[in-house]
Amino acid sequence: MQTLTDPRALLDPNLPFNEAAVQLLDRVVAAMFLSNDSVERDVAHRVLGEFKNMPNAWTHVAFILNVSKDPNTKFFALQILEATITTRWNVLPEAERNGIKAFVTSLVIQLASDEEKQNTEKHFINKVNENLIQGVDSNRVAGVGVVQDSEERMARTLAYVCDGAFLRNHRESVVEPLDKQTNKTSCIDTLKLLVAISGAGHDETFQICLDFWFSFAETLLHEVHQEAKKRQGQRNAEGPLLLSPDAGEGGMTPAELSWRVKEYGEVLNEVRGVLISRMAKPQEVYIQFDQETGEVTRDYEVDTAEVSLYNTMRCTQVLLTNLGQMETQRLMLSVLHMECMQAPVQGEQWNSTSLNRLCYSIGSISGAMTEAVERPFVVEVIRSLLNLCESMRGKGNKAIVASNIMYVVGQYPRFLRAYWKFLKTVISKLFEFMHESFPGVRDMACETFLKVAQKCKQTIAASHQEDERNFVLTVIENHTQQTEVLDEKQQLLFFEAVGHIISATPAGAQADCIAALMANCLNKWSEIVEKGKTNAETLFSMQAARQLVQIIRISQRLAKSTGSAFTPQLMRLYGEMMEVYGVYGQKIVTEVQRGGASRIKHADVKCLYIFKRETLHLLEVYADESLRDAQAPARKETVKELVGQGFGFRCRDNTPDSRDCEVLALLAVLMSRLDTHISSVLPVIFDYIFDCTLQMIKSDFQSYPDHRERFYALLKACNQHCFSGLFSLPSHQLKAFVESLVWAFKHEHPSLAEEGLQVTYEFLQKLIEGKRELLNDFCSTYYFSLMKEILLVLTDRLHRSGFKYQTLIFMALLRIVGFGLVRDEANGLTQENVTKSLIDLLSRSFQTLNHKQVEAFVVDLFNFCGDSNPTRFQQHMRDFLISLKEFAGDNDALFEAEREEALERARELEKKKRGQVPGMTPQYESMVSIRNMED
């Protein structure tokens, strides 16, 4: 074998790359890392760099890895492969790309299967994984059918979870034989083995098993439902199908409808037991038992992995409950009674894990049982927990039981609504928990009170014969007993909860109830403001500002929960509130002028800024909630009058850093609620708000992100609800509006660009369909500039995600002249001239295109723009873009709209399917969490 000595031989493409070349490469790499001669190191570095950049260098990687014994050389070979994937992928021929795919896949599987190499060559394996990740991140190996499964198998092998891979590969083979009764004994044995594996304590294995149990239970329940509909003649019935929990009731139980449910009943019960014993903690529970330290602690952070696991386990438990309500009930009550007997005896040594997981399971299956089964079950659970709470010793143990009580009662509003005495007892117990000092108990008590108030407000607000006095009045009268021990965030939840209850009282009594509830807050407000009138400096103190902010935030919560009933209360606050708003605003401007924009972040000035922000948010919430009723002209006139008095229209007089972006959010809500009522002040809004905000954000695409987001929301509201008013604006303001739309869809941030495109498209559609008489004047000014700008983003790879609305706008513009909606030869608004302009523009922009090719493309644009369905037009546009050199490579973004539509259809089907399973839909659409509240 010839020995090579000159490092430059590696760079000669005419020399064969054999074992001699690999040995030379080993020496060059060794010189790079080990040589003490700086000149030799420099030469080696230069040679290796040039070798890595050779177009065919990647083809030698496999040979280098097989022949070389030097770890550094192998690592260098992987660097060559990584560089090829990250920098040259799009220009490689398909055959070479397939070669790399096959090589990477084979190498990964080979390494994943060798445990010895995993222990001895971790550095090398990490580099291989990096190559694989580079391919996955760019979707470069997406077309290889075996890659996804191999990657998953590799990852599990690296973690030594062989049983996980086995279960994943054989999941379907366990379900399939269930179609044949002859195999039921084998299936039962296999499923029992899987139950044992599920309870083995290995988290990753459990998650794989959980996926199987969900699929298994879902398949069984679907079979039960189909058989029930067949027997009941409800094959096309919609909505949940409630099965009989007990054969004695004369209905059909799941076991009667499916022989599988009957035969596998024992297995299903064992699965229920495993899931109960391992149930994950829901997000609503703040108190946890640390098994390592044996201490009860407050959980401050949300564990997203555990929340995800809880959701999967909840759905699985719901399915299993639907397959056997009585079995689930008996199992849960037996575990509960055992815990209630053992806990008091064990005292401080008690491990609450089993009780916690049981209660999480009980709460998770809410709605899965019929009311007849649910009623005695929930009564027994809550009574047992209340008795346990009374008998337990130690604050930590009591806090654990209290958290379980609160979680369970919050999950069963249907039961609480039906039994007033029990509901009243629960609320009284929540008030009691609000006085507990253990961390997390008060938070949960306030959150649970709010959830109960939202779901049971009609029952709480109603008059009950057994009560001497209306319960609502008692709560309002004694509310300070609770609020005085709560912190600021907890108070907000409490007031919002009471507000929901007030909203269910007779309309004539709501204002008085709100006034009584807010009496102490108003007294504190008046005290602070009166002192401020005497000495303005007292108004600027952090303590005074924080107290005023809290009162405004309480008002927000009440406005949100009571709606228009809050109007009298707002009128009492409004005058002084806006005076303080103005004083604080002037103080902020002075501080910014004196110390720069950073002064806003200082604690003393930040309090003033927060007051302004919360004031605007109060008005936004009030307008949004109180004006939902279209038959509320009086309230609309009231709000219009408030707007006319001015609450922040002097934005243009402030420095950019001291302008409130919440003004824009408030205006967007006012436009959506007031419609034409606000059109008369539209010029004022543009003059004092719109123009100065546009100047802030049009210099770049990044600065003032909060203002930018709310500004485009304002554009959308203005277009949707004040469209006619736009054409009453002076020409320079209408021009500013159109330019704002263009600036919006030129953003590289996908969500902002998408919103700008949607508003532009809706604007054109409204103009074409509702303002045809103005179309000619509009097009004479803006047609060609809009056409140019939309083509600019349409042919820009950075804006590919907006393809759907870009083409719809382009199509609408072509229709205007193609259908003869506008024909103005003086301004070039004819199909012939637009065709010529497009051909000229595209030919100049893409000089590599053949002129005839461009002509054919533009002619077909007009041929297809008349279709009622834009699919053909979009496909024609997509084909043209893909043919451009600038669009070579990955063009998946051009198909993003179709992909999103398909995903949305899949989500709707899944939602509909789950809606037919009792208990599958969560009790609360949005999570009430004190963690998410601002300080």
Give the model's pLDDT for residue 935.
64
Q: How would you class 407 by CB atoms within 10 Å of its CB: exposed for 0-12, middle for 13-18, buried for 19 or more? A: buried
66 within some domain: yes
Report the greatest alpha carbon distance in the chain: 107
d(CA 766, CA 895): 27
What 8-state DSSP symbol labels residue 679?
G
The contacts of residue 252 (CB under 8 Å, 6+ apart) are 228, 231, 243, 244
Which residue would you say has higher pLDDT here, 640 or 547?
Answer: 547
pLDDT band per the 50, 70, 90 thresholds, residue 790 = very high
Bridge partners (DSSP) of residue 295 are: 290
Joined together, the tokens standing for residue 700 give 């770049």
- Kindly state whether residue 708 falls inside one of the protein's structural domains: no
- Whether the CB-CB separation of 813 and 861 falls below 8 Å is answered with no
Q: Which of 601-605, 679-683, 926-930 has the lowest mean pLDDT?
A: 926-930
- Who wins on pLDDT, 160 or 206? 206
SS3 assignment, position 488: helix
Give residue 230's pLDDT band: very low, low, confident or very high (50, 70, 90): confident
Amino acid 620: pLDDT: 92
Is residue 72, in this structure, part of any structural domain at all? yes
Answer yes or no: is 51 within a domain: yes
337 Cα distance to chain centroid: 40
Highest averaged pLDDT of the listed ranges 464-468, 473-477, 921-925: 473-477
In a domain, 210, yes or no: no
CA dist., res. 347 & res. 361, Å (int): 24
How confident is residue 153, by pLDDT bands cut at 50, 70 and 90? very low
- Tell me if 45 is assigned to some domain: yes
Q: When comparing pLDDT for 136 and 418, which is higher?
A: 418
Q: Which domain holds residue 148?
A: 7-168
Q: Cα–Cα distances in Å, from 228 out to 232, 237, 315, 909? A: 6, 11, 21, 21
Q: In the chain, how many domains are there?
A: 1
* β-strands 295-298, 287-290 pairing: antiparallel
Residue 314 lies in a domain: no
Over residues 893-918, the pLDDT tens digits come to 566 666 777 777 877 887 787 778 88
Distance spanning both ends of the chain, measured CA to CA: 76
- CA dist 64 and 789 (Å) reads 52
Q: Is the pLDDT of residue 161 over 50?
A: no
Distance CA 466, CA 688 (A): 59
Q: How far apart are CA 405 and CA 612, in angstroms?
A: 40
Is the residue at 42 inside a domain? yes
- Pair of tokens at residue 311: 């959701």
640 compared with 436, residue with greater pLDDT:
436
pLDDT score of 168 more than 80? no
Give the separation between CA 95 and CA 100, rounded to whole angstroms. 9
Can you tell me the mean pLDDT for 771-796? Answer: 92
**Residue 596 reports pLDDT greater than 70:** yes
Q: Cβ-count burial of 108 within 10 angstroms (0-12 exposed, 13-18 middle, 19+ buried)?
A: buried
CA 589 vs. chain centroid, Å, equals 36
The per-residue pLDDT for 295 is 79
Yes or no: say if 225 and 231 are a contact pair by the CB < 8 Å rule: no
* SS3 label, residue 287: strand
Give the pTM.
Answer: 0.76
- Which residue would you say has higher pLDDT here, 664 or 685? 664
